[in-house]
Structure 1
Amino acid sequence: MGEFDTVVVGAGVAGLTAARLLRRAGRSVVVVEARGRVGGRVHTDRTDGRITDLGASWIHGITDSPVAAAASAFGMPTTEFTVGGYQPDSRPIAHYDPSGHRLSPSAAASYVTDIHTVDAALVDVIAASAPRASYLEVTEEVIGRQPWTPERADRVREYFSHRAEEQYGAAIDDLAAHGLDDDAIDGDEVVFPDGYDRLPHHLAEGLDVRLGHVVTRIEWSGAGARVTTAQGIFAAREAIVTLPVGVLQSGDVAFDPELPDEVAAPLSRLRMNSFEKVFLRFPSVFWDDDVYAIRQQGAEGAWWHSWYDLTRLHGEPTLLTFAAGPAAIGTRGWTDDEVADSVMAQLRRLYGDDIPAPTRVDVTAWHDDPFARGSYAYMTLGSTTDDHDALATPIGGVLHLAGEATWTDDPATVTAALLSGHRAAERVLGREIDVTGAWAD
């Protein structure tokens, strides 16, 4: 049995940040990780020399971002790719109407103005919403106030439905009214042409990381914590647990005693989403010039409504779309070819039957990953934004939960994971420490 000051469960960005800071403070730390790699939901595929970020891709706003600071310190090159969340006009977008024809500039401007009208009114409606109100209810209330024709209202209605799906991988009627409160970007967004996984690899340097250690049991008491894996038991004065919400809820890891209500209750109000990436690479570009995104309205866009042009990232014609919410659920179990055929049917509808077939297709499957069980967590009905921080309530002075779902200000991001790891390390040490210690020499 190994004995340490702190055992960290999970070698994602949260766990590695906490471990690195604790080691810098002179503590003995071990990180146990189920996978055969570090990074968790930051995972880059390098098959055939191509670099594809299957998990996290963006820094959503580099202004005052600790992740941007860490990436710079580690010498990770970035490429500006500001998408501004699921916004209607943050960058040039080719909007297509339900019949498959591109909207004229004036029609697109009117459509975007309608969306901004609803967004502006939503602030007060959400603030006054009932505790169990859904994002569907608050958007319907605002749309219902507008003097619009049914068709005009439907275009805006479906936009907000797709926003809920693409931002949080959830159906709009299952997302809490406050579920998009954090939908704001501060500064440019960037992606990593050399892969996002460089970040966790740098964070892991010099740490005692035990890969292939699947945790099955975590015991805690006034005497400390014991973490059980098939390879042995790790004992420590304290434990930092960075398991995703889906894994915490699955029962795959037993807590003894069980998590107290002040942590179990907010955990029960969060849910892991259904959200997968679909990358399609082509021999040539056939879509609109000078746009970063293509979006289609109407019933044909129920699943495949948005495509993002990643060509300039590596110089290979590439479109990214998302199987989000209902689309992810509906295509679960499909082969990559079946998903590609479904996506291509919509692209051919917009651009003609003679467009080239993709030369390569990559489809993620985070929902089927037993160590993730989804891409990230979202607030379901009855949840409040405070539930994120409440999930990190220290337990018995021994257990500390961390990870993207435990950070209120910007959940579902690598920034949230990193900052939650920093907070957990501070709580273990009982004092404030500088987060830059995670990447300083």
Structure 2
Amino acid sequence: MDHFDTIVVGAGVAGLTAARLLAKAGRRVVVLEARDRAGGRVYTERTDGLVTDLGASWIHGITDSPVASAAEAFGMRMVEFTVGGYQPDSRPIAYYGPDGKRLSDSAARRFADDIHTLDATLLDVVAESAPDASYRDVTEAALAAQGWDEERTQRVREYLEHRSEEQYGAWIEDLAAHGLDDDSIEGDEVVFPDGYDVLTAQLAAGLEVRVQHVVSRVRRAADGVTVTTDRGIFTADTAVVTVPVGVLQSEDFVIEPPLPEPNAGALSRLRMNAFEKVVLRFPTKFWDDGVYAIRQQGSEGRWWHSWYDLTPLHGTPTLLTFAAGPAAVETRDWSEERLVDSVLSQLRRLFGSAVAEPTRVHVTDWQGDPFARGSYAYMTVGSTTMDHDALAAPVDGVLHIAGEATWTDDPATVAAAMGSGHRAASSILGRPIAIDDLWVDGTLPVKGVAHGIRQFSP
């Protein structure tokens, strides 16, 4: 039976961050990863010379972002692509009305102004909301305060529904009133034309990562932890568990004894979302130049309402849309052909016969991934923002939980995962660690290990 100073469960950004910082501090660390690769929900596909990030894509705000600093240190090319947290006018957006015709610039401006007006009211409504209020409750109260006619109100209502879906992959009734409190962006947002997985490859360099080791049980005691996998049993003085909320809540992953409070209560109030990417590459571009996004209003946009132009990344005409919330749930069992036909039918409603069949399609299935069970976590009704940090509270001095769901400031992001891994490592060492230790010096003090991932598989 192998014994380590620390076992890290999961080789995503949180796990690799914790492991790297601990290893650089001289600890003997092993990372146990269920998949046949490191990276977790950072996953890049490379086919025919094209790079497609099927998991994480953005740094949502590079100002004071450790992820941006790491990416720069690792020599990763970054391209500015500011989403703006599903804002109505952060970049040039082509709006199409319920009749399928493009709105004039003045009409689009009036609509965006309505969103800003509503959001200003919403700040106070959310602050005064009841603990069990949903995002639907607070947005309806804010809408009622405007005194608009039904048509105007409905357009903004749709927008708010779509925002909850695209931001958290959750239906508006299921999201806590405070669920978008962290929806703030500092600085430009960027994407990676060479793939986000360059980051995780660099973080994993020199670490002992044992892939295809499916952890089923983590048992803690006063003297340490025992971790059971399908490839054997491991022991350590401490453990960092970084599996997603959906896995933590499943019967396939057991923590013994069960998590105490406040961890258990916080975990019970979080859920994994339904959020999938649909990437469509076309032989020719049929939408207008200089447009960052295409959005349609009205009932036809119930599922497919927003498309993002990724053409500047590689020069290939490419649109990205999302199956989010109800759309992701209801289309989960559809064939790829059926789903793509559904998306194309809406594009053809707007652009007619100019919409050719795509040359390549990527459709994710994070809901069906047993090691993810969704894309990221969201706050259910009754949850508070404090639940993120409460989930991460150290347990009995030996068990630490990290991951995007355990970081209050900007959960559901790579930055949150990195921050949580840094916090776990600092807690285990009992002293502050500079997060830039992740990238200032890439050499790990592991005897006999060449620079590069030490990837073990059965």
TM-score, normalised on structure 1?
0.99
Match of 2:262 in 1: 262
Aligned to 1:421: 421
Residue 181 of structure 1, CA deviation: 0.5
Q: Which position in structure 1 is the counterpart of 2:368?
A: 368
SS for the counterpart of 1:195 is coil
- Aligned counterparts, 1:20-99, within 5 A: 20-99=20-99
Deviations 1:373-407 (A, max 9, x none): 00000000000000000000000001000000000
Q: Take 1:263 and 1:150, find their aligned partners in 2: how far apart are those partners? A: 44
Q: Deviations over 1:221-240 (max 9, x none)?
A: 10100111111111000000
Query: 1:354 Cα deviation (Å)?
Result: 4.0
Q: Distance in 2 between matches of 1:232 and 1:354?
A: 57
Report the counterpart of residue 395 of structure 1 in structure 2.
395
Q: Which moved more, 1:352-361 or 1:390-399?
A: 352-361
Q: What do the CA deviations read for 1:284-307 (whole angstroms, capped 9, x no partner)?
A: 100122110000000000000000
Report the CA distance between 1:50 and its aligned residue: 1.3
> Which residue of structure 2 aligns with residue 169 of structure 1?
169
Match of 1:250 in 2: 250
Percentage identity across aligned positions? 69
> Which segments of 5 or more consecutive residues in structure 1 lack a partner in the other structure?
none
Is the contact between residue 344 and residue 355 of structure 2 (CA under 8 Å) also seen in structure 1? no
Per-residue deviation, 1:358: 0.8
1:157 and 1:202 map into 2 onto residues whose CA distance is 43
**After superposition, where does 1:4-403 map in structure 2 within 5 Å?**
4-403=4-403
Q: Secondary structure at the match of 1:320?
A: strand
Question: One-letter code of the match for 2:363?
Answer: V
* Aligned counterparts of 2:144 and 2:298: Cα–Cα separation in 1: 19
Does the CA contact (< 8 Å) of 2:286 and 2:354 recur in 1? Answer: no
Tell me the CA shift for residue 440 of structure 1.
1.7
Measured after TM superposition, the shift of residue 353 of structure 1 is 2.8
Q: Is the 8 A contact 2:14 2:403 kept in 1?
A: yes
User: Could you list the per-position Cα deviations for residues 79-133 of structure 1 after superposition, in whole angstroms to 9, with x for gaps in the alignment?
Assistant: 1111111000000000000000011111111111111111001111100000010
Q: Distance in 2 between matches of 1:84 and 1:376?
A: 19
Aligned residues of 2:275 and 2:322 also touching (Cα < 8 A): yes
Moved beyond 2 Å, runs of 4+:
none
Q: Match of 2:26, as an amino acid?
A: G
In terms of mean alpha carbon deviation, does 368-377 or 72-81 score higher?
Answer: 72-81
Q: Name the SS for the 2:396 alignment partner.
A: coil
User: Do the aligned residues in 1 keep the contact of 2:309 with 2:320 (CA within 8 Å)?
Assistant: yes
TM-score by length of 2: 0.96
Instruction: Give the secondary structure class of the aligned counterpart of 1:119.
Output: helix
**Offset at 1:261?**
2.5
Moved more, 374-383 or 106-115: 106-115
Instruction: Find the residue that maps to 1:7 and give its secondary structure.
Output: strand
Which amino acid letter does the alignment assign opposite residue 426 of structure 2?
Answer: E
Q: Distance in 2 between matches of 1:43 and 1:337?
A: 23
User: Where do 5+ consecutive residues of structure 2 fail to align?
Assistant: 442-458
Shift of 1:432: 0.4
The Cα shift of 1:336 comes to: 1.4
Amino acid at match of 2:9: V
For the residues of structure 1 that align with 2:334 and 2:52, how far apart are their CA atoms? Answer: 21
Partner of 1:175, secondary structure, is: coil
SS in 2 for 1:434: coil
Taking the aligned partners of 1:45 and 1:409, their CA distance within structure 2 comes to 30
Taking the aligned partners of 1:191 and 1:6, their CA distance within structure 2 comes to 33
Cα distance in 2 between the residues matched to 1:51 and 1:437: 29
Distance 1:377 1:98 in 2: 32
Task: Report the RMSD for the aligned CA atoms in angstroms.
Answer: 0.7
2:8·2:240 contact (CA, 8 Å) conserved in 1? yes
